[in-house]
Amino acid sequence: MTVVKHPLVQHKLSLMRDRTTNTATFRDLCREIGMLMGYELLRDLELSDHSIETPVGPMRAPVIAGKKPVLAPILRAGMGLMEGVLDLMPGARIAHIGLYRDPDTLEAVEYYFKAPDDLAERLVVLIDPMLATGNTAVAAGCRLAERRALNVRLLCLVAAPEGIERFTSAHPSIPVYAAAVDSHLNDHSYIVPGLGDAGDRLYGTQ
């Protein structure tokens, strides 16, 4: 578990938590924090040397090795956070994982899945802004495993201890990157203090 404590990440997260932050500002902040957290998550990408010509002369220059990563946001809230990571790596492939939490059972229900065929050959960044019960992220991790994804990392904004325990128990090989670990879940399985429903706040549907 990695908590990204960069001051800019923490500052932007505090602004996102504020209930008075409007939809447009929340959306911008989500994109910005996604870029900052993506920088941390991707800091150990492998490099290889390629021959290039600068205006002054030839050199061997480092470039990212291997196939481009896959960004796999859980719809719909994951899309806002994904945009910031995509700003860092515009050539990344995008997988879409459609899951929602049943309001009665709290279990994850899949309604859509589309991903590149060669997940086994790529880094996959699973994106779920709120790791609450962990059920949705666990289901997404299982779906990626079915498609033979071998190198997966989970990116989230805020996690609850319950969600971390559930996810890491189900997927011990997937590292988790979060901006904060909050206190607990309330009776409705929302993270406390959290920031509310990330999807509703992103898209103005609350």
Direct distance between the N- and C-terminal alpha carbons of the chain, in angstroms, rounded to an integer: 31
Q: Which of 20, 105, 117, 187 is catalytic?
A: 105
Q: Which of 28, 93, 147, 200 is catalytic?
A: 200
> How many whole angstroms separate alpha carbon 177 and alpha carbon 92?
19
**Polymer length of the chain:** 206
Number of helical H runs and strand E runs in the chain: 6, 13
Coil, strand or helix at 139: helix
- What DSSP element (H or E) covers 96? strand 96-101
Q: Which of 17, 76, 101, 153 is catalytic?
A: 101
User: Is 197 labeled as catalytic in the residue annotation?
Assistant: yes
> How many whole angstroms separate alpha carbon 29 and alpha carbon 85?
13
User: Is 28 labeled as catalytic in the residue annotation?
Assistant: no
CB of 124 closer than 8 Å to CB of 89 = no
Cα 88 to chain centroid, rounded: 13
- In 102-194, the DSSP E strands lie at 108-114, 123-127, 130-131, 151-159, 176-181, 184-185, 191-192
User: Is 49 labeled as catalytic in the residue annotation?
Assistant: no
Cis peptide before 166 (omega within 30 of 0): no
User: Is 105 labeled as catalytic in the residue annotation?
Assistant: yes
Task: Enumerate the active-site residues.
Answer: 101, 105, 197, 200
